[in-house]
Amino acid sequence: MRYALVNGTKAEPAPRLSGLCGSCGAVMVAKCGQHKLWHWAHKSRIHCDPWWEPETDWHRAWKNHFPAEWQEVVHFDPTSHEKHVADVKTAHGKVVEFQHSPMKPEELKSREAFYVDMVWVVDGTRGFDASYFNMGLGQRVDTEGSPTVFPFQWYGPSKLIKIWHTATCPVFLDFGYEKHVWRLLFYDPLKKRGVVGPIGRDELVSDLTDGTPLARIRSGADPA
């Protein structure tokens, strides 16, 4: 985790610093090595949130687009008493989950049912997934008065698209393009064909920050 409570205040790790987990209250140890991102770890080696995954540079880069007070926010259900730590929860109540590791369909459904108002940003740069996406990306389709969309054929052996097309909340795939991510609009798992739309990274962050309706897809020039 990036943050723990130190003297009741949300703080990042530092050498020889100790804190408490904002979710379960357990003692946290600051891990400040030379090879991994500085982070907090539960002293017991057991993380309180089963949905937690180790934070990568990719996670940290995305989370840095949002204020610290929006990051790692405990989301509590007063009815079920279930609680989880959202990667980002905006001032407008929308949860943003940045997912790097593969996910089982059951967990995907559970998270969407728990958070309800949420958005997925998925790391598509694992393995060769980005190469397969680029290889299968077709020419943009322009319809007068409508945003730009791109058809694609999925040649990859991974289940990246097969899993994420089942999401009911918006899914944005990050394949490492400098300025754009791709909103997954449609996918046929039998034909392995789908449709995506490019959205500027800054545009997505701006919509989430301002609480405005998310742009479904972007109009205009080809993404780069």
> pLDDT above 70 covers what percent of the chain?
92
Give the chain's mean pLDDT: 88
Q: What is the mean pLDDT of residues 60-65?
A: 94
Strands (E), the chain: 4-6, 9-11, 18-20, 27-31, 39-42, 71-76, 83-89, 95-99, 118-123, 150-153, 171-174, 180-188, 193-200
How much is the pTM?
0.83
Is residue 104 exposed (0-12), middle (13-18) or buried (19+ Cβ within 10 Å)?
Answer: exposed
Q: Which two tokens stand for residue 8?
A: 């009741």
